[in-house]
Amino acid sequence: MERIVGREKEIRRLDKVMEESEAQLIIVYGRRRVGKTFLINEYYDNNFTFKFTGAYNQSRSVQLKNFTYELDRASREKHGQPGDWNEAFILLREYLEKDVTGEKQVVFFDEMPWMDTRRSGFLPAFEWFWNSWGSSRDNLVFIVCGSATSWIVDNIEKNKGGLFSRRTCRLFLEPFTLYETEEYLESRDIHWSRYDIAECYMIMGGIPYYLRLLDRELSLNENIDNMFFRKRAELWDEFDQLFDTLFSKEEQYAKLVEALSRKRKGLTRTEIINTTRIAVNGRLTKMLDNLSNAGFIRVNQMFGKKKRERLYQLSDYFTMFYFRFMKDNVGIDEHFWSNTNDNPARHAWEGITFEQVCKDHIPQIKQKLGIAGIMAETSSWAKQGTNAEEGAQIDLLIDRRDRIINLCEIKFSTAPFEIDKEYDLVLKDKAGIFRESTGTKKTLQTTMITTYGIKKNKYSNYIGKSVVLDDLFANTRD
């Protein structure tokens, strides 16, 4: 396990699982490329009693052929290919029963959703296997893993049939935080400034697979050009692969996330329907749930609004980057990223995306504000301006149980941020409009989240609290 970075909580959970004295059904899921298989392989040092990986878009016959090969290899015996999944699980049971030592038997089914092909009978066969035999084997640890998060959630996590309430451990792997990203890069001998790490994070998020492709001998700009923009670059077709392997009817999913990419603050359900023309039925609800479960969108609550008025916001960094810069540009300018170093459009994108980084590091922000132990809700707020009234927008609110609301202003810059007379008036007007519009009686505290802090001047004292980029690198997952 020496090679695992940033998964301390998950490792502690697996340690506890291995100490249990009854059968364990573990589900491991999360965004594709987030490191699920790597974690399980490394934790168990690839020492499985049996391991089988589903094959994407292959028939039941091919899956069973692959299953038989792996069983032959593990048992060192020759088996005829089973006719269906029931027979396959009978063979697996017979193999496991031959071990009478009583030691832990770890079975790992990776990419299980791909095994459940149409009319394959896989899921009922697995339910039967687990309920009739596996759940009574005190030494059996069965690990189910898959990138198709919606399948895992629907068929294992929320199963209302034979697997209802059967799982004993759930591991949802999240992307690395900034702290974990820095730790991972340093483990690969990549020593960058936190500004560069933050910009790298804005492009690929904390996805280990993408981070692993970085070349320590190249600058950040050179790496981005090499990975995304050169002809036939490593990740030039990553978007298509992501959606093709994760979602059925991927064209509709792509259409939906593209619509969200055009509105950085997000869209309401009604706005999504009007923009995409996706049918108003259970299908849209399911698509939104699937994208949320897979980590591609975030559901933002609007302060003072009902749940049905919430905003759906694209939150996957790679997907945002793809639609903003890659979609129509791959292979055209192989040095595109280096050539846009001083481009205003790139600076605007940095400012917008830094807001997302902050929303993904709320625990770190609360820790710096000294409110880590105080219950709080985060949301956004906006008031549409009219001819008679001024509008305002606040991207991040922290509404605390101690009757204080932090109104967070987020700025990404290359130097300490300077508040001038004009911006000072903007901040005060925002707070005033917010109080008047919401009628809140709570204390309002304007909070600046910046890269390098606030430049001291006669206007800076208005800021109640300040958070800087370094604070977002705090470790809060222990």
Over 70: is that where the pLDDT of 163 sits?
no
- 337 and 368 both lie in a single domain: no
Answer whether residue 94 is part of any domain. Answer: yes
Here the CATH number for the domain that contains residue 463 is 3.40.1350.10
- 20 and 136 both lie in a single domain: yes
Over 60: is that where the pLDDT of 1 sits?
no
- So what's the pLDDT on residue 121? 95
pTM of the model: 0.92
Answer whether residue 75 is part of any domain. Answer: yes
Over 80: is that where the pLDDT of 32 sits?
yes
Strand partners, 312: 267, 299
Nearest Cα residue to 235 out of 322, 344, 131: 322
Answer whether residue 320 is part of any domain. Answer: yes
- 137 and 154 both lie in a single domain: yes
Here the CATH number for the domain that contains residue 148 is 3.40.50.300
- 223 and 281 both lie in a single domain: no
**In contact, 72 and 79? CB cutoff 8 Å:** yes
What is the residue range of 346's domain? Answer: 178-236+330-355
- So what's the pLDDT on residue 307? 63
Answer whether residue 458 is part of any domain. Answer: yes
- So what's the pLDDT on residue 452? 97
Answer whether residue 268 is part of any domain. Answer: yes
Please report, to the nearest 10 degrees, the dihedral formed by the alpha carbons of residues 207, 209, 211, 213 taken in order: -160
Q: What is the amino acid identity at position 376?
A: A
Over 80: is that where the pLDDT of 308 sits?
no
Over 70: is that where the pLDDT of 458 sits?
yes
Which three-class secondary structure state does DSSP give residue 38? helix
Please, what is the average pLDDT of the chain?
91
Residue 224 backbone dihedrals phi, psi, to 5 degrees: -65, -40
Over 60: is that where the pLDDT of 164 sits?
no
Q: What is the mean pLDDT of residues 139-164?
A: 82
Here the CATH number for the domain that contains residue 296 is 1.10.10.10
Alpha helices in 316-449 (DSSP H): 317-321, 336-339, 344-359, 362-369, 421-438
- 262 and 370 both lie in a single domain: no
- So what's the pLDDT on residue 320? 95
d(CA 175, CA 181): 9
Nearest Cα residue to 247 out of 279, 282, 289, 299: 289
- 206 and 349 both lie in a single domain: yes
- So what's the pLDDT on residue 388? 65
pLDDT band, residue 478 (cuts 50/70/90): low
**In contact, 25 and 167? CB cutoff 8 Å:** yes
Q: Which long-range contacts (CB under 8 A, 24 or more apart) does 41-46 make?
A: 42/1, 42/3, 42/4, 43/1, 43/4, 43/11, 43/14, 44/106, 44/108, 45/1
- 138 and 27 both lie in a single domain: yes
- 76 and 219 both lie in a single domain: no
- Overall domain count for the chain: 4
- 207 and 274 both lie in a single domain: no
